[in-house]
Structure 1
Amino acid sequence: MTVSARIATYFHVHLVSDSTGETLNAMARAVCARFSDTLPIEHIYALVRSPRQMERALEEIAAAPGIVMHTIAEPELRAALEEGCRALEMPCIAPLDPVMASMSRYLGIAVSSRVGAQHALDSDYFDRMEALNYAIGHDDGAGGPQDLNQADVVLVGVSRTSKTPTCIYLAHRGVRAANIPLVPHMPVPPQLRELRKDILIVGLIASPDRLAQIRRNRLLSLKEDRGSDYADTDAIRQEIIHARRLFEREGWPVIDVTRRSVEETAAAIINLLHGPRDQGGEVA
């Protein structure tokens, strides 16, 4: 019997932005993820704000034909990009246009052409920067009880349950997040006993098989040997059992990160922050 191999389709995606390109990049990846067996090759042109920069972008676009997406607001630069794409017979998409047009009609207000408005140095921006500094300074149990009492949320879990990246992601959403590890054969970290009652504490768990794989890869990348228990599936299973018992005893909500991305875990935590605080158990 002949088995036909599934071959992925490679294609070029050109992302042209007059700002950092973060919004456009996130949108492009979200859309591309909906098409199976495709592998986009991203070309990012950020801070395109002059005719010369646009010319260089069009030269590179011409060299690698594909789909062009943009968030160019300045009329002359936008016209140059759209005209260049027409000449190259490439699709040129402005994905924010329908959303802005609908919102403009609803609000009765014209769309601003100010570049990078979402990155203004306002109070929200500085709140995010402070939250990021807080997450870095309170990673892996760092910081005293008094500092921890300034947190919005404290994440607790065994090693490699994505505590740190989740805290960093939450910081970008303006959430002050600290994390405390659970270490085998060690008592519950005393910092947890001294936290204010109104601070959200969330337990993170994962399947033993998944954790064992992540820990083995971690040891290989560090060329380190911590002993067999660290990456041993049976030992990890016992860690998870003890962690679950702790979370249940304390009434902390629990999130299983086995099949969740960091973004999904963070979204669940934000929902908990805005929801009732007296419910433990596993979060769906």
Structure 2
Amino acid sequence: MAVKEQNLAARSQERSPCAPLATWFHVHLVSDSTGETLSTVLKAVMAQFAPAKPLEHMYALIRSKAQLERALAGIEAAPGLVLYTIVDPELRRILEARCSELAAPAVPVLDPLLEAMADYLGLEQAMRTGAQHEMNEAYFRRIAALDYTLGHDDGQVAWDLELADVVLVGVSRTSKTPTAMYLANRGVKVANVPLAPGVEPPAALFSLRRPLIVGLVASPERLAQIRASRLGAMNATDRAPDYCDLEAIRAEVLAAKRLFAKHRWPVIDVTRRSVEETAAAILTKLSARRNES
């Protein structure tokens, strides 16, 4: 949507003091790094304001006055809320002063946390731009995790499962792969092992000591719906009739639950969970496990 069209959409929703919350509004994300932090924060906040729809304007890698001027021109053209992560004191001063002139609220989203952390640790901030994106040990750990996870998707390469941090086990369409990839982006090495009727899981799975093994389940009704949609998208509705059969799926899920219970593996029901929520639950279990050892 062009800026002019965005302005029209936003202005058409402007309200009087007694009118309901505007549906559309402009949000400017100004960052001296990639802007990923601001996008994540905005997404988390907007989840609490379902009727409101932000029109995002991203200005990443703002590290000079000329670059900042281009961002300010965009803010002036489409006034709205400004969220920023700028380390350079001079650029911050310019941004805050101009936003004040434009009556555009400017929020330094990391400042409260940085100040609290500095007070708690008794340390001064390093004031390094984009420090979280440096090619340090954590960066290479994340790349290694992605490489491992890609190579161990859907039951591949079962002989070195012991090297995984987490092994996900579940029947088809329980979000094993997307959850594994999300965790890999957090630096966690993940393998996922599918459970299929008539197919024995790899023997190595039952002798693992290092990895956290997590069973993923979902309601048979939800699985039937997802599987039917997948086959429909593939134009394969006439194949593998048991794959979408509700009774057959119930038997699969029951067998999976019995397997998980037999080996005392923690279980997560993904029926009403997003991938992010499932990953968060796994990270919590992994952290507790590591703290115990």
TM over 0.5: yes
2: CA distance between counterparts of 1:191 and 1:130?
22
Verify: 1:200 aligned to 2:212, yes or no: yes
Q: Aligned residue for 1:20?
A: 34
Which aligned pairs between 1:2-21 and structure 2 lie closer than 5 A?
Answer: 9-21=23-35
Q: Which residue of 2 aligns with 1:77?
A: 91
**Cα deviations across residues 193-227 of structure 1 (Å, max 9, x unaligned)?**
4x423432111001122222222332333344344
In the other structure, the counterpart of 2:136 is 122
Check conservation: 1:156, 1:179, Cα contact below 8 A.
yes
Match of 2:272 among 259, 273, 279: 259
Query: Aligned equivalents of 1:231 and 1:50: distance in 2?
Result: 57
Give CA deviations for 1:77-136 in whole Å, capped at 9, x if unaligned: 222222222222111110111221222233333322210111222212211110111111
Contact 1:131 / 1:171 at 8 angstroms: preserved in 2? yes
Q: Where does residue 35 of structure 1 map in the other structure?
A: 49
Shift in Å at residue 7 of structure 1?
9.1
Please provide the CA RMSD for this pair.
2.2
Identify the residue that residue 258 of structure 2 maps to in structure 1.
Answer: 245
Partner of residue 189 from structure 2, selected from 152, 169, 176: 176
Determine whether 1:212 maps to 2:224: yes
Report sequence identity in percent: 56
User: SS of the counterpart of 1:275?
Assistant: helix
Contact 1:151 1:178 in 2 (8 A): yes
Question: 4+ residue runs of structure 1 moved beyond 4 angstroms?
Answer: none
Equivalent-residue separation in structure 2 for 1:7 and 1:107 (angstroms): 40
Question: Which stretch shows the higher mean deviation, 25-34 or 230-239?
Answer: 230-239
Shift of 1:18: 0.7
Number of residues of Structure 1 aligned to a counterpart in Structure 2: 270
The answer to whether residue 275 in structure 2 is matched with residue 274 in structure 1 is no
Structure 1 residues 135 and 81: alpha-carbon distance in aligned structure 2, compared to 1, 3 A threshold: same
The question of whether the paired residues in 2 share the 8 Å contact of 1:182 and 1:189 is answered with no
Following the alignment from structure 2 to structure 1, what is the Cα–Cα distance between the partners of residues 232 and 53? 28
Q: Cα deviation per residue 1:149-194 (whole Å; 9 max; x = unaligned)? A: 211111000111111111112122222110011112322333424x
Shift of 1:60: 2.2
Structure 1 residues without counterparts, runs of 5 or longer: 1-5, 278-284
| Aligned partner of 2:247 among 222, 234, 237 | 234
- Is 1:51 the counterpart of 2:65? The answer is yes
Which is worse superposed, 250-259 or 82-91? 82-91
Q: Distance in 2 between matches of 1:106 and 1:7?
A: 38
Contact 1:141–1:180 at 8 Å: present in 2 too? Answer: yes
Task: Give the TM-score normalised by the residue count of structure 1.
Answer: 0.87
Q: CA deviation at 1:262?
A: 1.6
Q: Contact 1:131–1:174 at 8 Å: present in 2 too?
A: yes
- Residue 149 of structure 1 aligns to a residue in which SS? helix
Structure 2 letter corresponding to 1:217: S
Contact 2:81-2:105 within 8 A present in 1 as well: yes
Distance 2:204 2:22 in 1: 50
On the 8 A contact 2:163/2:210 being kept in 1, the answer is no
Alignment of 1:138-153 (within 5 A): 138-145=152-159, 147-153=160-166
Which of 209, 234, 247 does residue 222 from structure 1 map onto? 234
Q: 1:103 to 1:249 in 2, by over 3 A?
A: closer
